[in-house]
């Protein structure tokens, strides 16, 4: 008897009943049979060798499919468990799922410390076991039998899992000397795993509950080819090189000091230049949009944050208050309450609206990149009055309004429930750093609560008092985050307008230091940031150092240049660009900056 198998391209093939997905793969091509890792049968991911008993939609999953990768990594977790059991007989296992980049297994070593130094021997053992190409064997088992099995093995974790499983749906998988309670699926045998790297060991609470004991979580990743592992490791190295903490220090952008305190950056001269350039751009943009600048103090009394309503929500992320004359003062964690006070003093009429205020103040909160996404955060109705201001009508109104704006402006976004601010919905720009950390860069927040708390009003056209709605904006987020993002995005190779130092003037020998300084003066007079490397070094060394410092332009000058009042231009990463008159170089730089800044 035959069954009909429908493949993703909608072609239909007939096979004897009970054929496996592997049989299908073999019938299509030898290469496919070699690369296939698992099969999706009628939407369910299954082992390749399980017989198919009826007509089915079949997708053969390879390393190029997320589900194929996950199957491989899940099987790798079992392989790691086998290796661990070899060296640590009696260890207990909790769960070992595939994750974003690889897999982990949570392990109870019974008090023994397992540290990163122990990873290598496990890795080696895994490689040895992988070579044996042991099959992953599936076995269906009754619940009672399963309970007996894991009771005998004195395994409280698997018994805990079993307690939530239904009889008839329980399976064990065995490869080599290791058997685990597992729903599968798995790759056919351990030989598919060709490259192994155990990456990290960390603590993780059992069931993610800090009241529970802590298990040892071991992270790893595997590949079907050695070359893919090498590429992955190279990618990690590359990301590490972009880490803003490393580059920031290297380029003398910012530093931290134990005496100043954690999370309190000291912006060095190079960092200050970047901040000032960014603010200059932001100020210009805001001025064009009708914003007016204000300045407010770094402190405010507790009463203001009680009025605004921030204190209960932000207490954890604000520094503790300082007391003076019986009053509590807080370092400001946000500008908006101060700005509400200014609004009140302005006492506007509807003709004055909207009032647009902007400030680049220092706020205090306790606490690489190629992609970003607009995140529209909304509230969770069940949490009104707790996490959110209790005003369901305004929530609905403003959320609909913001959604409409996003759609009409053609801005792609993802909607995230239960992430709104306590006073209203918000739009964030989410980015991912080179080292994989997600954070919020810029934010726009609708606020229909705080203006009322401050008693803000304006006079409407009917000469009645009305409460305004406030929109909070943080176009740059914090300097730390924004500049951190820029560092990683550019890997420290800032565009000309942001580069702390734009031009290095490199005299061939000290005979030309005088001319170099003249050229520097011309640059300075033209608002170009430059320096002269007048060290007693050979030109090759000066160039090398300027390249390492990521200086966008180098001007090499010697006898020829001095005679003709020219400079020999070299561009960072691009090499020799020929000779220009000094004034032509100035024009070129100014034009380039202008072009970069005209968005």
Partner RNA sequence: GCCGAUGUAGCUCAGCUGGUCAGAGCUACUGAUUUGUAAUCAGUAGGUCGGGGGUUCGAAUCCCUCCAUCGGCUCCA
Residues near RNA, by CB under 7 A: 95-97, 99-100, 113, 115-116, 161, 165, 169-171, 180-183, 200-205, 207-208, 210, 214, 216-217, 245, 249, 256, 258, 262-263, 435-437, 508-511, 535-541, 543-544, 547-548, 554, 556-561, 568, 570, 573, 575-576
Q: Which residue has the tokens 């640059």?
A: 523
- Contact status, residue 14 vs residue 21, Cβ threshold 8 Å: no
Alpha helix segments (H runs only) across 269-423: 269-288, 302-308, 310-314, 336-346, 392-408
For 51, which DSSP code? B
Q: How far is the CB of 109 from RNA (least distance, A)?
A: 10
Buried b (16+ CB within 10 A) or exposed e, 398-430: bbeebbeebeeeeeebeeeeeebbbbbbbbbbb
SS (H, E, C) 293-321: ECCCCCEEEHHHHHHHCHHHHHHHHCCCC
Query: From CA 220, how far away is CA 217, in angstroms rounded?
Result: 10
- Contact status, residue 482 vs residue 275, Cβ threshold 8 Å: no
Q: How far is the CB of 301 from RNA (least distance, A)?
A: 27
Q: How far is the CB of 253 from RNA (least distance, A)?
A: 14
Nearest to RNA of 71, 335 (CB atom): 71
The dihedral region occupied by 539, where left means phi > 0, alpha psi between -120 and 50, and beta the remainder, is alpha
Q: How far is the CB of 439 from RNA (least distance, A)?
A: 12
Exposed/middle/buried for residue 323 (C-beta within 10 Å: 0-12, 13-18, 19+): exposed
Output the six-digit token pair for 514: 């005088």
Output the six-digit token pair for 499: 């580069």
Nearest to RNA of 359, 545 (CB atom): 545
Q: How far is the CB of 18 from RNA (least distance, A)?
A: 24
The dihedral region occupied by 463, where left means phi > 0, alpha psi between -120 and 50, and beta the remainder, is left
Output the six-digit token pair for 577: 């660009």
Nearest to RNA of 14, 257 (CB atom): 257
- Contact status, residue 496 vs residue 547, Cβ threshold 8 Å: no
Nearest to RNA of 114, 372 (CB atom): 114
Output the six-digit token pair for 230: 């090498």
Nearest to RNA of 239, 405 (CB atom): 239
Query: From CA 305, how far away is CA 46, in angstroms rounded?
Result: 57
Q: How far is the CB of 99 from RNA (least distance, A)?
A: 4
Residue 159's CB is within 10 A of a number of other CB atoms, namely 16
Q: How far is the CB of 13 from RNA (least distance, A)?
A: 31
Nearest to RNA of 378, 568 (CB atom): 568
Nearest to RNA of 415, 537 (CB atom): 537
Chain-centre distance for alpha carbon 466: 42
Q: How far is the CB of 315 from RNA (least distance, A)?
A: 17
Query: From CA 235, how far away is CA 227, in angstroms rounded?
Result: 12
Nearest to RNA of 24, 506 (CB atom): 506
Exposed/middle/buried for residue 33 (C-beta within 10 Å: 0-12, 13-18, 19+): middle
Nearest to RNA of 236, 294 (CB atom): 236
| Residue 38 host element (H or E) | strand 38-41
Nearest to RNA of 239, 281 (CB atom): 239
CA distances from 163 to 150, 156, 170, 173, 237 (A): 12, 10, 11, 18, 43
- Contact status, residue 47 vs residue 186, Cβ threshold 8 Å: yes
Nearest to RNA of 30, 117 (CB atom): 117
State the angle between helix axes of 513-525 and 582-597 in degrees (0 to 180), rounded to the nearest 10.
40
Q: How far is the CB of 283 from RNA (least distance, A)?
A: 31
- Contact status, residue 561 vs residue 515, Cβ threshold 8 Å: yes
Nearest to RNA of 5, 77 (CB atom): 77
Query: From CA 236, how far away is CA 240, in angstroms rounded?
Result: 6
Q: How far is the CB of 575 from RNA (least distance, A)?
A: 6
Q: How far is the CB of 226 from RNA (least distance, A)?
A: 24
Q: How far is the CB of 38 from RNA (least distance, A)?
A: 14
Nearest to RNA of 319, 324 (CB atom): 319
Q: Which of 296, 366, 298 is nearest to 329 (CA)?
A: 298
Q: How far is the CB of 548 from RNA (least distance, A)?
A: 5
Q: How far is the CB of 258 from RNA (least distance, A)?
A: 5
Q: Cα torsion for 50, 55, 59, 62, to the nearest 10°?
A: 20
Q: How far is the CB of 395 from RNA (least distance, A)?
A: 27
Nearest to RNA of 180, 399 (CB atom): 180
Nearest to RNA of 146, 452 (CB atom): 146
């Amino acid at each position: 008897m035959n069954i009909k198998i429908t493949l993703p391209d909608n072609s239909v093939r007939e096979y004897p009943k009970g054929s496996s997905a592997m049989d299908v793969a073999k019938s299509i091509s030898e290469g496919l049979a070699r690369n296939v890792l698992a099969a999706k049968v009628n939407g369910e991911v299954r082992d390749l060798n399980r017989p198919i008993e009826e007509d089915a939609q079949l997708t053969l999953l390879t390393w190029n499919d997320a589900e194929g990768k996950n199957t491989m990594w899940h099987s790798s977790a079992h392989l790691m468990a086998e290796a661990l059991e070899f060296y640590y007989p009696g260890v207990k296992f909790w769960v070992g799922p595939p994750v974003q980049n690889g897999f982990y297994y949570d392990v109870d070593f019974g008090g023994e410390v397992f540290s990163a130094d122990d990873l290598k021997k496990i890795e080696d053992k895994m490689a040895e076991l992988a070579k044996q190409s042991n099959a992953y064997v599936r076995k269906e088992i009754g619940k009672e039998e399963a309970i007996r099995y894991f009771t005998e093995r004195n395994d409280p974790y698997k018994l805990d899992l079993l307690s939530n499983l239904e009889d008839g749906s329980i399976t064990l998988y065995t490869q080599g000397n290791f058997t685990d309670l597992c729903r599968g699926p798995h790759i056919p045998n351990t030989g598919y795993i060709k490259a192994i790297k155990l990456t990290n060991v960390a603590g993780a609470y059992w069931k993610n509950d800090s009241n529970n004991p802590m298990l040892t979580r071991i992270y790893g990743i595997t590949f079907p080819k050695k070359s893919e592992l090498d590429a992955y490791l190279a990618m990690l190295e590359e990301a590490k090189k972009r880490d803003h903490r490393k580059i920031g220090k290297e380029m003398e952008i910012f530093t931290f000091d134990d005496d100043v305190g954690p999370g309190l950056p000291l912006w060095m001269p190079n960092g200050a230049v970047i901040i000032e350039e960014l603010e200059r751009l932001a100020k210009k943009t805001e001025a064009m949009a009708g914003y007016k600048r204000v300045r407010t103090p770094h402190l405010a009394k507790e009463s203001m944050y009680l009025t605004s309503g921030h204190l209960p929500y932000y207490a954890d992320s604000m520094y503790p208050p300082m007391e003076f004359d019986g009053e509590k003062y807080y370092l400001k964690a946000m500008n908006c309450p101060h700005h509400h006070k200014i609004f009140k003093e302005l006492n506007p009429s509807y003709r004055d609206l909207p009032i647009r205020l902007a400030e680049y103040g220092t706020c205090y909160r306790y606490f690489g990149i190629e992609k970003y996404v607009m995140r529209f955060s909304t509230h969770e109705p069940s949490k009104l009055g707790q996490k959110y201001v209790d005003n369901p009508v305004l929530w609905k109104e403003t959320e609909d309004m913001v959604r409409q704006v996003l759609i009409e402006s053609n801005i792609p976004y993802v909607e995230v429930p239960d992430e709104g601010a306590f006073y209203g919905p918000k739009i964030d720009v989410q980015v991912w750093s080179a080292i994989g950390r997600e954070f919020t860069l810029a934010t726009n927040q609708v606020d229909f609560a705080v203006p009322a708390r401050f008693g803000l009003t304006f006079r409407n056209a009917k000469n009645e008092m009305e409460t305004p709605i406030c929109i909070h904006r943080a176009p740059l987020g914090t300097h730390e985050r924004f500049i951190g993002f820029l560092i990683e995005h550019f890997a420290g190779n800032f565009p000309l307008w942001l580069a702390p130092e734009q031009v290095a003037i490199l005299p061939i020998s000290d005979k030309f230091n005088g001319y170099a300084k003249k050229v520097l003066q011309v640059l300075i007079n033209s608002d170009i940031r430059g320096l002269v490397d007048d060290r007693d070094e050979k030109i090759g060394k000066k160039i090398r150092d300027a390249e390492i410092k990521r200086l966008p332009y180098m001007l090499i000058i010697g006898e020829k240049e001095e005679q003709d009042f020219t400079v020999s231009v070299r561009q960072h990463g691009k090499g020799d660009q020929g000779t220009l008159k000094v004034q032509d170089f100035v024009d070129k730089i100014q034009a380039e900056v202008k072009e970069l800044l005209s968005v």
